[in-house]
Amino acid sequence: MKYVSAGLVLFALLWPCVHAAPVPPGVRVQTALATLRSLDEQLTVYGKVEPDPERLRALTTLSSGEVRKLYVGLGQRVTAGQPLLELATAPQARMTWTQAQGRANSARIQLQQTRDLFKEQLATRADLASAGQALSNAEAELAALRAQGAQHVTRVLRAAEAAVVTRLDVAPGALVQPGQPLLMLGA
């Protein structure tokens, strides 16, 4: 009985192979070796290319001024160190820088005079400390203004890394304030 049921199963499995549809006479199969070559086919797609949001960087300034020149355009690739724009320092910032320099020079002279008077016992330690503190304050003000770029009449802002200009927020002649976005770079 075992052999009969095994034979029936085998017959059921092989029956479609015996009665398979014949291959049409016009169909030929050709084989070839796989080779590496370029494909010259073009593909048209529609969409929007956007940079990684985590790698977008807004270029801002720490001081007010006027945009004199734009060296780049929207969508342009830039390299590290490439000039992006030229910014003229605002007259008020330059005046503040000049006044701070005057205060620092005056504080240096005052400290030296107080030291000379202290050596002759004509000034107290408090006078000497006060003159030293005035100089420290004046130098701190100069350092803060230097960090803002107030000592320059014009300065060129450059790309920190290779990127693409994804947004331009200013044009030549635009007046800008501290912290205002000037342009956006996508790396």
For residue range 137-169, what is the model confidence (pLDDT) as tens digits?
Answer: 999 998 988 887 777 778 899 999 999 999 999
Q: How far apart are CA 75 and CA 59, in angstroms?
A: 15
User: What is the pTM (predicted TM-score) of this model?
Assistant: 0.56
Residue 63: count other Cβ atoms within 10 Å of its Cβ: 23
DSSP H or E segment with residue 87:
strand 83-89
Q: Both tokens of residue 85?
A: 């724009």
Q: Both tokens of residue 114?
A: 């107080």
Q: Is 119 exposed, middle or buried (0-12, 13-18, 19+ CB in 10 A)?
A: exposed
Provide CATH code, domain 54-186: 2.40.50.100
What are the φ and ψ backbone dihedral angles of 60, each rounded to 5 degrees? -125, 175
pLDDT on residue 30? 81
Q: Answer for the pair 70, 172: CB distance below 8 angstroms, yes or no.
A: yes
Q: Name the more confident of 72 and 154.
A: 72
